Amino acid sequence: MIKNSHNIKVLKPWGNYKKVKSKAHSLIEDRLPKTLGSNNYIVFANGRSYGDCNLNENTVTTNNFNRIISFDKKKGIIQCQSGVLFSDILDKVIPEKWFLPVTPGTKFVTVGGAIAADVHGKNHHKVGCFSEFVLSLLLLLPDGSVVTCSKTENVELFRATCGGMGLTGVIVEATIQLIPIDGTQVQQTTIATNSLEETFNAFKTYEDTTYVVAWLDVSSKKTGKGIILLGEHSKDEKIKISTSSRISIPNWFPSFFLNPLSIKWYNTYYYIKHKNKNQEVSLDAFFYPLDSIKNWNRLYGKKGFIQYQIVVPKEDGFKAISHLLETIKKSNHTSYLTILKLMREANSNYLSFPLEGYTIALDFKVKKGLWDFLDTLDHIVLSYNGRAYLAKDGRMKTAVFEKGYPYLKEFKLVRKKYKLNTIQSQQSKRLGL
């Protein structure tokens, strides 16, 4: 979210819990803006990161750098500038029966942002992160040079860029491999579970399903009770472009709107509505349900919220997630949306988030004592050799970060080798990157 005053903008993370006055510099023709001078900077694109990874006193904006350069309809390969939104790609490729191989829960992220965060989706346990399908990218370095990076060319820069939170340069272009689809429907199956043990057993039972995700009712007395959503692309061979309208949240809701009682009512309704169903739903309904509500982050009130997302190794997954949920239940903090997913083995990117195990994302409304409570959760996660997701982080301590990312040294060596010290964000300064 951005408010303009000439080229001075007030930047906020999607969670809306901090503000930064920033001088915005628009990227033009693969060159750093002259107005940037020698100031340190970070890229700010569409502002969908939850934390401070894209905040700084100087930002390079890429939202107007949004041209689709080419699209091979036979091979499903698309080349585009980094400011292109996933929604723009989908509008282009779905009519030709292609789809994004990996997508997060919103289509309003840019290609550059998706690479920088090395995003994952409901199919990580099958195919991994977005970077697996990035055939190559062009990276603009602080010295003005533009470098081609891939899994075979300038490999260390590629590994540092994918998941590197924009700290290796400005991603200018990317070439991406898409996946074929028959139509625009998803065969969705929902299965109700009554405990965390049942939820974990369901992940094991359906681990061969393409898309698997669990919604958990943290307000329930039964820890881990929830709904497992399974998805497969339909073979109905119908192409129907979604024209559904979006509900808009015009103003910030009062802080009392979301409370333990209201969320308990909603969770009960959601559980009953989705319990044990088999139906065809649209791509938007399956992959991007929250996108149907414009500015949904305003529901949390003016103080905002933080999405706390961590991953823990598979062997201790049940024990670790149970420990976290029980700790939350005993606290005065409520997770208003809780999502659990299964992940495959880690890739070779230095700061990419996933590892083989389970990831849980929890939305906490900002209120007194939250930061100390999240520090407590951090220590639990570290005790199980887990880590937190940088794209969602806005408060993690340096020691916690360093213990969670074993290839941090390699990442810092790349930063030093290519003299990338002028690229900084509030997050990188806080974490010593």
Give SS3 for 190.
strand
Has residue 140 been placed in a domain? no
30 within domain boundaries: no
Burial class, 92, CB count within 10 angstroms (exposed 0-12 / middle 13-18 / buried 19+): middle
Backbone torsions φ then ψ of 20, nearest 5 degrees: -140, 125
Q: Which of 62, 73, 51 is nearest to 26 (CA)?
A: 62
The boundaries of the domain holding residue 373 are 185-397
340 located within any domain: yes
Residues 6+ apart with CB under 8 A from 230: 188, 189, 190, 191, 206, 209, 211, 212
**Distance from C-alpha of 386 to C-alpha of 403, rounded to nearest angstrom:** 9
Which of 103, 212, 200, 119 lies closest to 164, judged by CA? 119
> Does some domain include residue 319?
yes
**Rounded CA separation 192/69 (Å):** 44
Is residue 282 situated within a structural domain? yes
* 229: its two tokens: 């959503």
* Positive or negative: CA dihedral 159, 165, 170, 171: positive
99 lies in some domain? no
Closest CA to 412 of 426, 396, 400, 428: 428
- Domain with residue 341: its CATH number is 3.30.70.2520
CA-angle at 83, arms to 78 and 87, nearest 5°: 65
Strand ranges (E), 344-386: 357-365
Is 167 inside any structural domain?
no
Q: What is the pLDDT along the chain (433 residues), one digit of tens a residue?
A: 334 444 888 999 999 998 899 999 988 777 888 889 889 999 999 999 999 999 999 999 998 899 999 999 999 999 999 999 999 999 999 999 999 999 999 999 999 999 999 999 999 999 999 999 999 999 999 999 999 999 999 999 999 999 999 999 999 999 999 999 999 999 999 999 999 999 999 999 999 999 999 999 988 889 999 999 999 999 877 777 665 556 666 666 566 666 777 777 777 767 777 777 899 999 999 999 999 888 888 888 889 999 999 999 999 999 999 999 999 999 999 999 999 999 999 999 999 999 999 999 999 999 999 999 999 999 999 999 999 999 999 999 999 999 999 999 999 999 999 999 999 999 999 999 9
**∠334-296-6 over CA atoms, to 5°?**
120
Q: How many domains does the chain have?
A: 1
Query: Model-level pTM?
Result: 0.94
